[in-house]
Structure 1
Amino acid sequence: MYDMITSPVEYGGLALKNRIIFAPTTLGLGREELVEKLRQIAAGGCAMIILGDVPVGRRGFGPSLYTKKGFAHYQMLTETIHRENCRVCAQLHQSDSNWKAMVKYLPGVLRRKISMEQLRPLLNEAVGPYISGLSARAVRRITDSFGTAAVLAKEAGFDMVQIHGDRMCGSFSSPVFNHRSDAYGGSLQNRARFAVEAVEAVRGRLADMPIDFKLVVRQEEPAYGAAGVTEKELPIFVPLLEAAGVTSFHVTLADHSALGDTIPAADHPCFSGEGCFLKFCDQVRRLTRLPLCGVGGLSSPEFIERQLEDGRITCAAMSRQLIADPEWVNKVQAGAARQIRRCVRCNRECLGGMMHHQGVHCIYERSAAK
């Protein structure tokens, strides 16, 4: 019944057993709980897990590929996921948070007087001055580190890398934050240089590595997102990335604003519908023939099947839905779609759990524990 969902596909040079991908997610869980959560999602039948926020530098938020302990952590995760016949992709990112700003607010975060929701706008205020003040030499050192990190990711067992188009890539791309007057600022071609160099650094070291790019779009009317590129800028931005070596695009709304916008609840004023970000895929599809992965409140097998049949997207990425029911794919394949625990997009225990430093969970987990 769901022939497109369950059909194999080549996604940017990587063979996937079906069309469902676990979207990159900051889970905020302890080691054992994280491993088990990812194992369950992999065992549930999805084709690939994108492991979010893998730092490209030696320092960063999360385990480092450069340390023995950090490398072993990622190697253990890839082995765990591969044992469930699931691919795994490393989302390579460089934070645009100013460390001095982080130190300033760290005591409040540790004492839980500053929530994640409160911290984001405080850190965003420091992004513009931070990236605009980096020397060109420092910028080139950062973009080059994407290539070094990709090599380490491959050695750790990752099948693909994704360049995180938000974070520092997104802040460089946007004039909201980028106030530079050198080769990395001003025109869109210059603002795109950071992202292009990051992709080129990976391609220069790994000629055959599939490179996914998380393409973040800043909506202007009504305004949502602050980083990334506007819809009008896509015709310039997309070809530059494709020429640099990108093999697929993961398309979504730009971040650097309220998390409730990029992870919209069912009552969101603009993004309440299923497939709420797929309109950006429609625009990107007119610019490239590379595979596209769509995301945004996806949960219904019927809806996803139609988008795949129409060629609107190549693959569908889900996070909250696979957290609500890791067995989503297995149930679809077994003809038991009616038994799926549907994500209702309440954001109570997933986004809410992350904002309150409790890790990402689901209302279904809480009800089962009672």
Structure 2
Amino acid sequence: MYETINSPFDYGGLTLKNRILFAPTSMGLPREQWLARLEAIASGGCAMIIIGDVPVSRHGFTPSLHTSDGFAFYTQLAQRIHAHDCRLCAQLHQSDSNLGAMLKYVPGVLSGRISKAQLRPLLNEQVGPYITGLSVRRIHAITEHFGETAVLAQKAGFDMVQIHGDRMCGSFSSAIYNLRQDAYGGSAEHRARFAVEAVRAVRSRLPELPIDYKLAVRQQTPSYGNAGVLESELPIFVPLLEQAGVTSFHVALANHSALSDTIPPAGHPCFGGEGCFLHLCDQVRRLTRLPVCGVGGLTDPGFIEAQLSAGRIDCAAMSRQLIADPDWPNKVFSGNCDAIRRCVRCNRKCLGGMMAHQGVHCIYEKESDL
């Protein structure tokens, strides 16, 4: 009944056993708990797990491949995930946060004058000046870090890398944040240069490695998202990224706005429905023959099967649904869909846990598991 979901697929040069991927997610969990969560998702039958926000430097909110401790962690993770015939992808990430600005707000956060909810928009206000003021020398160093980190990722056991097209790539892509007047700013072609050079840095070192690109799209009508690529600019960005060496596209709404837009609850005024971002995939599909992965409120096996079989998307990525029920794929493949714990998109313990710095959890979890 779900033949397409359960069919193997060549995703940009990487053979996947089925069409279900775990979308990149900042889990915010202790390492052992994080490993256990990811291993449960792997054993549940998905074809590939994308590890979100793997830093391209020695520092970040998640372990770095550039440290011995971080490299050992990812090596262990790859071994545990591969044991379940599941592929592993590293989302290479460069923050666009201005460290100096962050330090400026620390006293206010510690004193309670600035809440955690207020901190995010304050930091986002600093992104534009930071991106606009980066030296060309520093830009070149950062894009080279993408290639260096990809080499380490392959050595640690990752099967693919994904360039995180939001955060710094997305801020350079956006005319809202990028006010540069040099070769990295101005026209859409120039604003694409940072992302293109990051991809090329990987491709020049690893000619055969599959490179996924998380294409963060700014919806124009109604307007959502500040960083990333405007819908009208996709005909410029997509070919440039493909020529640079991208082998597949993971299409999502741009971030740098309220997280409830990019992780929308069921009651969202624009993105409350199943497959809420697939209209963005439709636009990318018209511009490339490369595989396209869709994401956004995907929970229903029948709906997903229909989108895949119609060729609207090639793979379906989930985060909250596989956190709610890691066995979603195996239950679908065995014809046991009635037993699925459906994500109701309440955002109470997943996005809510993230925002409260308690880690990503789910309302289905027992209190003893939290």
Which SS does the other structure have where 1:42 is aligned? helix
How far did 1:62 drift?
Answer: 2.0
Which amino acid in 1 is paired with 2:223?
A
Which SS does the other structure have where 2:24 is aligned? coil
Note if contact 1:55-1:92 (Cα within 8 Å) is conserved in structure 2. yes
What is the TM-score of this pair, normalised by structure 1? 0.97
- Structure 2 partner of 1:56: 56
Unaligned runs of 5+ residues in structure 2 are none
Query: Aligned pair in 2 of structure 1 residues 163, 112: CA closer, same or farther (>3 Å)?
Result: farther
Which amino acid in 1 is paired with 2:101?
A
How far, CA to CA, are the matches of 1:112 and 1:68 in structure 2?
A: 36
- Structure 2 partner of 1:287: 287
- Is 1:96 the counterpart of 2:100 in the alignment? no
Note if contact 1:171-1:178 (Cα within 8 Å) is conserved in structure 2. yes
- Structure 1 partner of 2:9: 9
- Structure 2 partner of 1:337: 337
How far did 1:58 drift?
Answer: 2.1
- Structure 1 partner of 2:185: 185
- Structure 2 partner of 1:311: 311
Query: Aligned pair in 2 of structure 1 residues 165, 112: CA closer, same or farther (>3 Å)?
Result: farther
Which SS does the other structure have where 1:29 is aligned? coil
- Structure 1 partner of 2:86: 86
Which SS does the other structure have where 2:289 is aligned? coil
Which amino acid in 1 is paired with 2:250?
H
Query: Aligned pair in 2 of structure 1 residues 127, 295: CA closer, same or farther (>3 Å)?
Result: same
How far, CA to CA, are the matches of 2:328 and 2:148 in structure 1?
A: 35
Query: Aligned pair in 2 of structure 1 residues 137, 218: CA closer, same or farther (>3 Å)?
Result: same
How far did 1:74 drift?
Answer: 1.1
- Structure 2 partner of 1:278: 278
Matches within 5 A, 1:100-179: 100-107=100-107, 116-179=116-179
- Is 1:322 the counterpart of 2:316 in the alignment? no
How far did 1:109 drift?
Answer: 5.1
- Structure 2 partner of 1:351: 351
What is the TM-score of this pair, normalised by structure 2? 0.97
1:242-274 deviation per Cα after TM superposition (whole angstroms, max 9, x unaligned): 000000000010000000000000000000110
Percent identity, aligned pairs only, is: 70
How far, CA to CA, are the matches of 2:281 and 2:165 in structure 1?
A: 15
1:285-325 deviation per Cα after TM superposition (whole angstroms, max 9, x unaligned): 00001000000000000000000011000000000000000
Note if contact 1:248-1:291 (Cα within 8 Å) is conserved in structure 2. yes
Which amino acid in 2 is paired with 1:138?
R
Query: Aligned pair in 2 of structure 1 residues 299, 111: CA closer, same or farther (>3 Å)?
Result: farther
How far, CA to CA, are the matches of 1:14 and 1:60 in structure 2?
A: 28
How far did 1:118 drift?
Answer: 2.5
- Is 1:70 the counterpart of 2:63 in the alignment? no
Which amino acid in 2 is paired with 1:236?
I
How far, CA to CA, are the matches of 1:18 and 1:367 in structure 2?
A: 33
How far, CA to CA, are the matches of 2:49 and 2:222 in structure 1?
A: 32
How far, CA to CA, are the matches of 1:161 and 1:111 in structure 2?
A: 40
- Structure 2 partner of 1:22: 22
How far, CA to CA, are the matches of 2:310 and 2:82 in structure 1?
A: 31
Which amino acid in 2 is paired with 1:59?
H
How far, CA to CA, are the matches of 1:277 and 1:169 in structure 2?
A: 20
1:6-54 deviation per Cα after TM superposition (whole angstroms, max 9, x unaligned): 0110101000000000000000001111010001000000000000000
- Structure 2 partner of 1:300: 300
Note if contact 1:172-1:191 (Cα within 8 Å) is conserved in structure 2. yes
Which SS does the other structure have where 1:153 is aligned? helix
Note if contact 1:120-1:257 (Cα within 8 Å) is conserved in structure 2. no
1:55-104 deviation per Cα after TM superposition (whole angstroms, max 9, x unaligned): 01122222111111111111111111111111000000100000111222
Which SS does the other structure have where 2:5 is aligned? helix
- Comparing 330-339 with 114-123, greater Cα deviation is found at 114-123
How far, CA to CA, are the matches of 1:62 and 1:21 in structure 2?
A: 20
How far, CA to CA, are the matches of 1:57 and 1:302 in structure 2?
A: 41
How far did 1:122 drift?
Answer: 1.1
Query: Aligned pair in 2 of structure 1 residues 26, 288: CA closer, same or farther (>3 Å)?
Result: same
How far did 1:115 drift?
Answer: 5.1
- Comparing 359-368 with 262-271, greater Cα deviation is found at 359-368
How far, CA to CA, are the matches of 2:166 and 2:272 in structure 1?
A: 22
Query: Aligned pair in 2 of structure 1 residues 110, 67: CA closer, same or farther (>3 Å)?
Result: farther
RMSD of aligned alpha carbons? 1.5
Query: Aligned pair in 2 of structure 1 residues 17, 111: CA closer, same or farther (>3 Å)?
Result: farther
How far, CA to CA, are the matches of 2:106 and 2:321 in structure 1?
A: 32
Which amino acid in 2 is paired with 1:46?
C
How far, CA to CA, are the matches of 1:115 and 1:286 in structure 2?
A: 43
Unaligned runs of 5+ residues in structure 1 are none
- Is 1:262 the counterpart of 2:267 in the alignment? no
How far, CA to CA, are the matches of 2:57 and 2:117 in structure 1?
A: 25
Size of the aligned set, in residue pairs, is 370
1:103-142 deviation per Cα after TM superposition (whole angstroms, max 9, x unaligned): 2234555677755532221110000000100111110111
